[in-house]
Chains A and B, each alone.
Chain A
């Protein structure tokens, strides 16, 4: 592949610290070649941001990491994605994978159930039904998502009555309840106000102690504020991938520089 700046640019990490490794990944929507030979290594317990203009493939790429693309028709994938060494397309069941790689969506999407049932959903589908155990998981997850104090008195009320920011943190708690290794966030703050946004950002930085986070954002300030590594996508290609402070201060590629200085996109 002729892609400049893939894994060579990032500091070499021990394979033990590697979480996800993507090798020569191509994705097609029917005839449309949406991802063109992506190579990327996503380190453990760090936040990796995916930036780029609309339609560049960053969200599509994110969805290949937990095989949400499987749900869409006409998607064909070539290449290899491994999670801690296991090929997620050949050697892993998509259902099993999604329990290990959770996802938070652009639009907060709590289920039309109570706060408690939203968080308990994941444990329940994994066969946990004991009330005491569920209570414990719900409380722990809501605490981790820094929303326990706000919601502890309304656990049994509908989640749809919460504000957008609370809904999104509830969705994060819902994901945490499954105890994933990786959390994918697809523009999690684009539908939220600035205060809710900064709360989610704080939360993401808190969570990286225990989880590996990959976040798609259209907001470059957000990427530079919270992420350790940043990948810049353009027209289905990974243009540049580096430590965040390096990518934003001394971009190696002219196109990256043009994008982060606001010359297009």
Chain B
């Protein structure tokens, strides 16, 4: 029996019965195939379960504001009266998160406005204009860029950007502003957009470029009439990924946005956003209370926004794949 399933996978079944041989074969198959498959399947399932579990948890917690405390969704989205009662049982305060939502939208929009053109330009530069240079210097630089922790970005923003804005624009609140948050976010999402856009541009087949050159195009004409349109789906994916990252960023924004509870009157005035508001108050609020639930609702909103971005990316990719076939 002991020599049945030998090492290295040879089945030495000459002396055993058919049943023994079968058993040895099963053992062998188990070790060589099913075990590995089982482990990776478990890992895959674990991720799916985790994602679903977080989603379900967020939905349960995040809807408490509307079910347990009977606030309307409209109040949450459109009111700026944020005064939830912070005790385990009390209720009756306001849960209007409009200031935070507007803060998030404004800072992210501004970040995109700054980052997207620069990032797409950088991607074109590193792939089309100076590919050798781009690979040697640009690519590593951008990878390092991605790896810098957000607290560092925030701190640099706080030390350099906030005083500069104060001095240049004589802003109230000493430079803490939508503008500062937008710039910090722009710097943070720049490498994300650049990397994805550069990959998209690189994947444009060379025969498109050759065809365009063959018709007497200049390099710039090849880039903006052929290469960019051919890679627009990928570039858009990069932009949306960047936007999703901007929406989710808390720490760096919290450090420069000023954290007031009012709508900004200009890009130079301070405000607050969803992530910074959650991060600031989540530890202090009484578990299960109105304030706590309202924060969970904001977390749920962030989750839904990022789901929306992911769905948007899939939609765009599917549509462009379908357009190519038609």
Contacts and interface: CB of A to CB of B under 8 A. Distances in A.
Interface of A: 66, 68, 71, 95-99, 102-103, 105, 107, 109-113, 121-122, 124-126, 157-158, 160-161, 171, 174-175, 178
Contact of A98 (B207, B216, B323): B216
Contacts of B217: 95, 125
Given A98-B213, A98-B216, A103-B214, A158 B221 contact: no
Contact of B229 (A95, A98, A102, A113): A113
Contact of B211 (A66, A95, A105, A126): A105
A112 B216 CA distance: 18
Nearest to A174: B215
B314 interface: no
Interface in B159-217: 205, 207-208, 210-217
Nearest to A177: B215
Identify the 10 closest CB pairs spanning chains A and B, nearest first: A99-B216, A103-B214, A109-B207, A98-B216, A109-B211, A122-B215, A125-B221, A112-B230, A95-B216, A160-B324
Contacts of B208: 109, 111-112
Given A107-B207, A113-B229, A66 B324 contact: no
A71 B213 contact: yes
B326 interface: yes
B226 interface: yes
Contacts of B225: 121, 124-125
Nearest to A73: B132
B116 to A, nearest CB: 22
A158 B324 contact: yes
Nearest to B325: A161
Interface magnitude class on chain B? 20 to 34
A175 to B, nearest CB: 7
A98 B215 contact: yes
A161 B221 CA distance: 25
B218 interface: yes
Contacts of A98: 213-216
Contact of A157 (B210, B214, B216, B326): B326
Q: DSSP class of B's interface residues: helix, strand, loop or mixed?
A: helix
B142 to A, nearest CB: 24
Contacts of B218: 95, 125
B207 A102 contact: no
Contacts of B205: 109
A154 to B, nearest CB: 10
Contacts of B221: 125
A6 to B, nearest CB: 27
A233 to B, nearest CB: 21
Contact of A158 (B226, B229, B326): B326
A225 to B, nearest CB: 25
B136 to A, nearest CB: 15
Given A95-B218, A157-B326, A160-B324, A111 B213 contact: no
A164 to B, nearest CB: 13
B224 to A, nearest CB: 11
A92 to B, nearest CB: 12
B214 A112 contact: no
Nearest to A123: B215
A99 B218 CA distance: 11
Nearest to B205: A109
Contacts of A124: 225
Contacts of B226: 111
A125 B230 contact: no
Contacts of B230: 111-112
A195 to B, nearest CB: 23
Contact of B215 (A71, A99, A157, A161): A99
A126 B221 CA distance: 11
Nearest to A184: B214
A61 to B, nearest CB: 16
